A and B are shown apart, each in its own frame.
Chain A
Amino acid sequence: MKASAFAYARATSLANALELLATHGDKAKVLSGGQSLIPAMNLRLVSPELIVDIGDLGELRGIAVKGETLVIGALTRHADLLKSSHIVKCAPLLAAAVAHVAHPAIRNRGTIGGSLAQADPASELPACMLALGATIVVRGKGGERRIAAEEFFTGIYETKLGPQDLLVAIEVPVASPGSAHFFQEFARRHGDYAIVGLAAQVMRQGDRFADLRLGFFAVGDTPVLAKAAAAMLTGAAITPELLAEASAALASELNPHEDQQATPAMRRHLARVLLARCLATLLNRPDLQTGAGV
């Protein structure tokens, strides 16, 4: 199990990286953390002609707070997200999510930009981006583009990134006071990709939700922001009956696949379980735990 031969270029600057991508287009692959790309290459599932290694681009690294925005460089590793005080303060959902990403040795290499560009529908961070209302910052031939997370993910392993684009940063609105989050996933083993997961960011107002963003993952081609279910649950008094209605709405918002772990029906079921657990946890309402018609 050895990768096919390829050429290698270590980008010396962002401009250099973009130049390499402009020249080689889809024959090139960007190497960030490599934790998805290299296994695929070892298995010869992909055989790029050129690897553009962006690992030396210090300007793509780091986490900063700029006013009301948290800016995360694309090369920021999962391990950095887990340890960052900025993340804990400004986007605690991310810290909660990253703990579920693979294992320490993988988190030491894997990057947030790599994860989002890979766009595995079962991975945690894309769904967090939806829940957080993040903006993906992309550089390409035509300069910089800022793409809302909701628009960014277009299919299985597919995004708005073109072959000549580079994902350079992520902007996340700083969590406002009174906001809360919930993250849970059902994975067969610790660190595995989830069968279904939920990343939720909410604003509570008393015993109701003023805002509710439910980012489900492993429920279709892309992560899904469950808007219909959220709309029903926003501003209303949450009763088991309402939860059941929202759950039904949720099920129709999802278009899950069948794979070796679960049928679509099972994924819908587990998504409903997650919704109930999310509400029960955030509102401290144990009665909702099994109230989603599950």
Chain B
Amino acid sequence: MSSIRNPETLSALDRPNSYIGKTVPRPNLDRLLQGRASYVSDMELPRMAHVAFLRSPHAHAKIVSIDAAAAKLMPGVIAVVTGGELAAVITPWVGVLSHLKGLKSAPQSAIAIDRVCWQGEAVAAIVAISRAAAEDAAEQVAVKYEELEAVADMRTALDPATPVIHSSLGDNLAFERVHDAGAVDQAFAASDAVVEAEFVFGRHTGVTLEPRAVVADWNAAEARLTIYQGTQAPHMVQNIAALHLGLREQQVRVVCKDVGGSFGIKVHIYADEMATYALSKLLRRPIKFVADRVESFNTDIHARDHCCKGKIGVKRDGTILAFEIDDLTGIGPYSMYPRTSAIEANQVVNLVGGPYTSKNYRARARVVFQNKNVMCQYRAVGHPIACSVTEGLVDLAAMKIGMDPVEIRRRNLIADDAYPCASPSGLRFEQLSHQASLTKIVEMMDYQALRADQAALRKRGIHRGIGIASFIEVTNPSAAFYGVGGAKISSQDGVAVRLDAQGSVICQTSITEQGQGSEALTAQIVGSVLGVSMDRVRVILGDTDMTPYGGGTWASRGAGIGGEAALQATKVLRKNILDVAAVILQSTPAELDIVDNAVINVSDGAFRIELNELARIVYFRPDTLPPGIQPELMATKHFVPREYPFAFTNGVQAAWVEVDTDTGFVKLLKHWVVEDCGTIINPQLVDEQIRGGVVQGLGAALFEKCIYDERGQLTNANLADYLVPMSGEMPDIDVGHVVSPTKESELGAKGAGEAGTAGAAAAVTNAVNDALKPFATIITEIPLTPQVILTALGRI
């Protein structure tokens, strides 16, 4: 399936000593392994002060007064700044995008001014010589609140009796999308069975191990702000910081060093980070903000929290005729900036039913405001919702007509030779491989043997279940994602690559690294295309002063977009090098190649000149070159997908679980994934993206939930009560691949970052329901806690 195109030109895939498709260790690992990395939380600058934010204890309240007199007198305190005071240096923002028609939100300030809208919103900044001193002083700031009624339950947010959070907006509806394709009513009427269910998803969050961290350094003498931040999108931060601080973009430099996990948590603009930039400008000194774990739970974006009604119509022969959904999600009091909080619901509408041939699809999604922490895009945006609803419905339909879950999928998944084609929601698929993936996973897990085990164990009162979930995944987003809506978020990436005087290769890329392996895959591509060993390639990323302009690393775009830019830039450099080599060697570029750091003859592979010797001549003895020759040993290329708005990938997951029907505990025994991300640059990195993603999905399936009370108070904002997946409960995960490269790029790579998270919860939920089949109960709520399972079983 992985045919090589452009055989007449250079292909990165088939060069001698190519690193493409090989597992090679990431070049940056040793500093992480030896405790020598540089995370923002490690940073110190001369005169640096620390900020702690006093945060609202109320979900919704008017700020009557703030008395900071006592706090200002506390030891070590430099300043106490309120929202009103900070507004002198930073303007508010509104998180809307024009392509999400009707999306509305209210202006949000860096620090609340008159009113707080969620528990955890900052009401004052306390700047001191240490974080501890700032926290001491924060206890001395007296804030008088007048509590307002909180909108906590998204289900009643639109009721007439519910207070409107932002009166200027008229109601609590942030966004609504309706979609109707095919002939849905006729399809349901023609169905032999119609099944409906309501799927409930817990609100959860990213829990990056390194919390959000920023050091902002306004140097008044240079009129320049340097922002050291663990962000996925440095140029986006540069643009927005400049815009709201009244600076030109060249006055803002964003530096992103090592980042302790991101997963979409660190791709947004947070009020407290904006406040930190502004405080640095106001106080003319470096200010450090590191969210502590409690602040992280209260202010890092949350995700999911959907309640989605679903309906499926199916013929007796298994043919799925229609899907219908009605999705509701609550996003907190503001749409996040600048990516907005409507994207997840929008994705749910886009993705439901996506793997299947059925053309009849009706959907409604409503996004409502509430007085809880803000919600926005977290790993696999919308995918787990869409996949759980779709795959849950498919299993329910199969159960209803008595068909095996694998069989119903085989009969309805889009055929692998049917591409290009489009989904009923209008998504365009270039080439997917659902059927091949399903065949492969059935083999990997030995499906029939597992079914036999299941039957044998059931006789002994042991209840095991198998769950299958096919999925599609959005990767390599073009400008269709954000740019068309007016966001200054680049969908293209740039790479500059040069051969230095000693023969080493320096590569500057606009994608960023948070552990996915951006640095490694860039070095692999550059080394392979150029013909040099990876240890000669140094990759520079995460600095707006030092790299080409680009989007960064999010939405599974680094390998597909940044990787292609690296490939194309290196091709140009290679050509430039061969041009010079031909002059030096009195040959022609076509007769020469670069292999193992040296120029050789294409014809017989004979060694001609080392690259470092060539570089020496170019940089130090250009006088020895013929007249008129001006060598150019640096090349820059940018890339953005133009044909398809997104490069869709696909895959399937399977879970094997055991449910203790006395206790409601679920044991994850084994998990399998087959996915198709096109060209695989580094198999190990892809597999580990999948595994890590799966476990984030398993966390959602079994453990993770931000638990709010009816007053909008987050009641488990710590790592003891919010349960993240730990090693003791996680299964081994087998990963397999089908390879359908995208023709949109020469590299052919699509993304792989969302796939694991997309389908894990659906597979586990289906497996639990499969295990509970003898008990005639169906659970469509996650997390699948013992309480939920025992309740469903009628045990309590």
Q: Footprint of B on A, CB under 8 Å? A: 1-5, 39, 43-44, 186, 188-192, 195, 260-263, 265-266, 269-270, 273, 290, 294
Contacts and interface: CB of A to CB of B under 8 A. Distances in A.
Interface in B770-796: 785-787, 790, 795-796
Given A1-B294, A266-B790, A269-B796, 18 more contacts: A1-B292, A2-B132, A39-B720, A43-B718, A44-B139, A186-B665, A188-B723, A188-B786, A189-B728, A189-B729, A190-B728, A190-B729, A191-B726, A261-B787, A273-B663, A290-B461, A294-B662, A294-B795
Label chain B's interface by main secondary structure: loop
A5 B136 contact: yes
Interface string B696-726: 0000000100010000000110101101001
Contacts of A265: 796
Contact of B723 (A39, A44, A189): A189
A290 B786 CA distance: 17
Contacts of A262: 786-787
Interface of B: 130-132, 135-136, 139, 292-294, 461, 662-665, 703, 707, 715-716, 718, 720-721, 723, 726, 728-729, 785-787, 790, 795-796
B786 A189 contact: no
9 contacts: A1-B292, A3-B132, A186-B663, A186-B786, A188-B785, A261-B785, A263-B787, A266-B787, A273-B662
B307 to A, nearest CB: 20
A4 B137 CA distance: 11
A196 B662 CA distance: 13
A240 to B, nearest CB: 15
Contacts of B139: 44
A294 B715 CA distance: 31
Contacts of B663: 186, 270, 273
A188 to B, nearest CB: 6
B786 A195 contact: yes
Max chain B C-beta neighbours (<10 A), residue from A1, A39, A44, A188: A1
A188 B728 contact: no
A263 B132 contact: no
Nearest to B726: A189
A217 B703 CA distance: 22
Nearest to A259: B721
Contacts of B723: 188-189, 192
B594 to A, nearest CB: 51
A85 B601 CA distance: 74
A290 B715 contact: no
Contacts of B726: 189-191
Contacts of A195: 786
B231 to A, nearest CB: 23
Contacts of B665: 186
A290 B718 contact: no
A70 B728 CA distance: 33
A233 B728 CA distance: 35
A78 B703 CA distance: 27
A260 B713 CA distance: 14
Contacts of A188: 703, 723, 785-786
B719 to A, nearest CB: 10
A260 B716 contact: yes
Nearest to A191: B728
A231 B294 CA distance: 46
Contact of B135 (A2, A270, A290, A294): A2
A270 B663 CA distance: 6
A2 B795 contact: no
B786 A266 contact: yes
B131 A2 contact: yes
A219 to B, nearest CB: 14
Max chain B C-beta neighbours (<10 A), residue from A2, A43, A265: A2
A192 B787 CA distance: 16
Contact of B703 (A189, A270, A294): A189
A185 to B, nearest CB: 11
A260 B726 CA distance: 19
Contacts of B718: 43
Contact of A260 (B135, B707, B790): B707
A190 B703 CA distance: 13
A260 B787 CA distance: 10
Contacts of A260: 707, 715-716, 721
B521 to A, nearest CB: 34
A5 B729 CA distance: 38
Nearest to A188: B723
A266 B292 CA distance: 34
A186 B664 CA distance: 10
